[in-house]
Structure 1
């Protein structure tokens, strides 16, 4: 009977010991919140946030500008063709000027050069086209820079956090896994944030470049059509 009681008592002690060991880790002591993680990321999250806002502002500003430049100009070309065929060059110039578009400015420059050799007209249109493309590409390069340096800021924050962790360990002689992992997962938030901003900026950068390429192709096509129109009377 004594042996049975001792066995029961021992079993209770083992169960109590296991429950004390498992219970602290069974439920999280602190709920992980996204906003808290961003705050705990440290000072590096400030430049990463600034880069994110800068990238979005540049993208939307350029997006609407390029989209406006890529609108269908078939009506403009038809009006210019009709005016040239009927000999109303002044009317064609006025139509191009009122269009307030890259193609309109290119055609206007070409119309003002009528009477000169075709090569001179082509050169004038090409020069205006380069200026218009430069206007469309304005600040897009900054988006590419954001895509490049945002991840670097993220890695910098993580490295700074690791340095601080080991500095604290050297001062306190506390090398417990809780201290190391607890500080490290917070600091890796900066890497995740930097990579996220960099990836998004890289995608947006290429989206704008694709849009600009489409506008360039359309302008070149319309410019060739305009030159062919000017050469028709001489054929």
Structure 2
């Protein structure tokens, strides 16, 4: 009897020790991302490439727009006014060319039309402004596509992953293991999570660039208005 009790105690201690020493699985999102099959890996790599592409496109457009709008002389309009007041139209046009800025090119179009009807001057400046905005928006539509495609690819990966998980579950023999189903579900949901993690910053980047372009458009409109007021003022 005593021997039986000692055996039970020793068995309980060994079992407790084995449970205590069992390695605890650490959560690794990177492992979850690439835990699925070949299709899941292809979807994941595609989404990650879209994220890298959106980051590259954002910084390329951001610094391009910043470089373009920061070239104009702070006294640009004052100098243009002085040239026009003094009748130096060609000097004003040359000064605009030397600016190498969107504002300079827009005003150069207006100055080159001086002497014509105001509608022609306005039309020329508006056309040049549209060209400048189009240059700033170059490839911006590609950035706008990322927030739409990335979540859809993630959702596609999730749906395929769930299908595979339930297919494997339906073909299991013997006792049901919740681990099999749970692994399939969290692997599938990781696809959607990555898709959203790429789409949210890309949408944020896109709106930042649109805001900067809108600010330029507003500034160009104000500058065009000042120029029209200037040429219509009595000398």
Normalising by the residue count of structure 1, what TM-score does the alignment of the two structures yield?
0.86
Q: Is the 8 A contact 1:40 1:187 kept in 2?
A: no
Deviations 1:16-39 (A, max 9, x none): 55665x447x532x5444443333
1:107-122 equivalences under 5 Å are 107-122=107-122
1:54-93 equivalences under 5 Å are 54-71=53-70, 72-93=72-93
Aligned partner of residue 114 in structure 2, secondary structure: coil
> Aligned-pair distance for 1:171?
2.7
Q: Which residue of 1 aligns with 2:35?
A: 40
Aligned partner of residue 173 in structure 1, secondary structure: coil
- The number of residues matched between the two structures is 229
Q: Which residue of 2 aligns with 1:160?
A: 160
Q: Is the 8 A contact 1:69 1:215 kept in 2?
A: no
Aligned partners of 1:6 and 1:40: how far apart in 2? 47
Q: Is the 8 A contact 1:113 1:120 kept in 2?
A: yes
Q: Which residue of 2 aligns with 1:184?
A: 185
Deviations 1:79-120 (A, max 9, x none): 222211111111111111121111111101101100012222
Q: Is the 8 A contact 2:69 2:102 kept in 1?
A: no
RMSD value, Cα: 2.3
Aligned partners of 1:233 and 1:214: how far apart in 2? 31
In structure 2, stretches of 5+ residues that fail to align are: none
Deviations 1:55-82 (A, max 9, x none): 1121111101211233254332222222
Aligned partner of residue 87 in structure 2, secondary structure: coil
Aligned partner of residue 181 in structure 1, secondary structure: helix
Deviations 1:131-161 (A, max 9, x none): 2112212222221210111011111111111
1:1-235 equivalences under 5 Å are 2=1, 10=8, 13=11, 16=14, 22-23=19-20, 27-28=23-24, 30-40=25-35, 42-71=41-70, 72-173=72-173, 175-233=176-234
Aligned partner of residue 42 in structure 2, secondary structure: coil
Normalising by the residue count of structure 2, what TM-score does the alignment of the two structures yield?
0.86
In structure 1, stretches of 5+ residues that fail to align are: none
